[in-house]
Amino acid sequence: MKRIVIAGIAGGVIMFVWGFLAWMILPLHTAINNVPDEAAFAEAMQDQNMESGMYFVPGFPADLHKLEGEERKKVEENWMARHKAGPLVYMAYSKEGGQPMPPEMYIGSFLINLISSVLVAMALCAAVKGCCQSYLSRVGFVTMIATFASLTTYAMNWNWFHVPLDHTIEMSLDVIIGWTLVGLVQALIIKPCPKAMAETPIPENAN
């Protein structure tokens, strides 16, 4: 348990520092664009009087399951026509303003990294008892977890929600590189315990 806690704290710190480097220092996140006319765009959003939340454009008919026959067919065809014509939007919207990156956001980031790192350390501790005996295999195990996480999140968003491929690659690399760095350290902390050499006395032949 002690090794898991130490590895978890170390990994949380590494991921927190890596997040700063990846977003603020390294040219890793360049595929996020600014809206050309931000003032007009913000005004249009406010005019819609939308609540904070997730939005799709074109919006899928909310009551489609209640419709039948020709009415349902007409609504589906209208939605498909708007979808084909575009634009397609997958958007997180918050109507309330706020301070950019306030202190509680950094605290939240560190706590998320810390909890995630402890979970990875627990998984690595279990893997050490199985196939991950060597240092490189333990690092590879953590990298595999990061790759899995990227595929089930960013790659899925690319597949279903038209998130640009370059943004998907950048976000995936961020996760995979960061957690591989964590793996390099956690693999040093969590490793197989040396097996005690049991000395079995050899009985002397009475003859």
pLDDT of 174-187, one tens digit each?
999 999 999 999 99
Strand 89-93 versus strand 53-57 pairing type:
antiparallel
Q: Does a structural domain hold residue 14?
A: yes
Rounded to whole angstroms, the Cα distance separating 114 from 70 reads 54
Q: Is the pLDDT of residue 199 over 60?
A: no
Q: How much is the pLDDT for 204?
A: 53
Q: How much is the pLDDT for 197?
A: 29
Contact 17, 25 (CB under 8 A): no
**How many domains does the chain divide into?**
1
Q: Does a structural domain hold residue 89?
A: no
User: Which helix (H) or strand (E) element contains residue 92?
Assistant: strand 89-93
Contact 166, 154 (CB under 8 A): no
Q: Does a structural domain hold residue 197?
A: no
Classify residue 26 by its DSSP letter.
Answer: S
Rounded to whole angstroms, the Cα distance separating 92 from 106 reads 20
pLDDT of 88-103, one tens digit each?
999 999 988 889 999 9
Burial class (CB within 10 angstroms; exposed 0-12, middle 13-18, buried 19+) of 11: buried
Centroid of chain to Cα 125:
21
Q: Does a structural domain hold residue 92?
A: no
pLDDT of 33-77, one tens digit each?
899 999 999 998 889 888 999 999 998 888 888 888 888 888 889
Which residue range is the domain that position 123 belongs to?
2-36+99-189
Residue 114 tokens, joined = 């810390």
pLDDT of 94-151, one tens digit each?
988 889 999 999 999 999 999 999 999 999 999 998 888 899 999 999 999 999 999 9
Q: Does a structural domain hold residue 109?
A: yes
> pTM of the predicted model, to two decimals?
0.84
Q: Does a structural domain hold residue 64?
A: no
